Amino acid sequence: MTKITIIGSEKSGKTTLAGKLGKKGSVSDITMYDFSKNEQVLTTIDATGYPTSPKSLVTALNLSDIALLCVPPEGLDPVAAECIIALDLLGYKHGIVVLTKSDLSYPLALEELKEKLQKITIGTALESWDYHTISTTSFEGMEELKEKIYDVDEKVTAEQEQKNDLPPRVIIDQSFNVTGIGCVVLGVVDQGTINAKDKMVAYPAKKNLEIRSIQMHDEDVKSAPTGARVGLALKSVQSKDIERGFVISNDEIVTTDFALECTLSQLAREFEAGDMLHLYVGLQSSPVKVTDILENGESVEKAVPGKTYNLKLEGSKEIAYSKDDRFLLANLDEKQRFVASGYSQ
């Protein structure tokens, strides 16, 4: 199954393109589009709540394996620039830069735009991404774009197969009640393989549960591997007990306070001890206060762009995570909001 998120400039035609990649499904701060043909299943996520809410962008990226960054002939706007910073901070490995509205430009101008973007993304997670040109009016180049997506997905699938034997972990993005079934959740298998009848725990609430049944692409299955988008019917838990961002696994760290080793983006603004930031991990988020900034073991007054620090953060909301999860920090008061990323220490 191929899961992509479509982001970029506000006037890039990305939402129109998403509609051409699949049939519109659930709508919230993210909108999902589904396409299925033979054995090919494609889910496209449009971060429709962004740029108003950075959480919408983070959610879309963390539910997907491949990103399409859409840029019109006019070039980058502040929204697309912030997307590039977020992708780089997340170390987003797989993606395609899509030059949209090609019918409104000329081949030479599009080539110049491509070269400019390649220079901008040198040294970032986007440096090795492929480029593709498409019309968002006639949609010339659409089939070729799909082929490129499936080519990238082959690499993603090979990487995910290496995680099938890890302890199972499911990231939840929807929870609701179905009459006659009970609690049903939708989510993505982050690692491992889940099986019907598995007994697991919903974190951070620490609710014990059992997987009653599993569906993939509206079909019942007995198990689901890493990367699968699944619907799970759960026993021993109610839908009101499960929220977006919850993690179903057997072992998570749950805390309100964090000690992270973080590197600031070169394009971030500095921040000081005592400042309030917003922390994202998986689909969870929480405001946190910077209580200490350490550089080489010594407390410093401020964190500056491009440098690495050990940060101590205090929050009030319980967050569940594993040691391998990457954290993202944002300052919601700045124009460019994403400032740093790192891991728990």
pLDDT in tens, 96-155: 999 999 999 999 999 999 999 999 999 999 999 999 999 988 899 999 999 999 999 999
The list of the chain residues with pLDDT below 50 reads none
- Supply the pLDDT for residue 319: 98
CA atoms of 170 and 160, how far apart (whole Å): 14
- Supply the pLDDT for residue 40: 80
Extents of the domains making up the chain = 2-161, 169-249, 253-344
191-230 burial code (b ≥16 CB/10 A, e <16): bbbbebebebbbbbeebebebbbbbbeeeeeebbbbbbbb
Which CATH topology does 253-344 take? Answer: Elongation Factor Tu (Ef-tu); domain 3 (2.40.30)
Specify the pTM.
0.96
CA atoms of 281 and 326, how far apart (whole Å): 6
pLDDT digit string, tens, across residues 192-201: 999 999 999 9
- 169-249: what CATH class? mainly beta
Residues paired with residue 272 on neighbouring β-strands, in sequence order:
302
Give the angle 83-85-89 at the CA atoms, nearest 5°.
115
* Tokens coding 248: 């179903």
Alpha helices, DSSP H only, in the chain? 14-21, 54-62, 78-89, 107-120, 142-161
Query: 27 with 7: CB under 8 angstroms?
Result: no
Which CATH topology does 2-161 take? Answer: Rossmann fold (3.40.50)
Burial (0-12, 13-18, 19+ Cβ within 10 Å), 106: exposed
* Tokens coding 220: 């019942």
Determine the 3-state secondary structure of 139 from DSSP: coil
Same fold, 169-249 and 253-344: yes
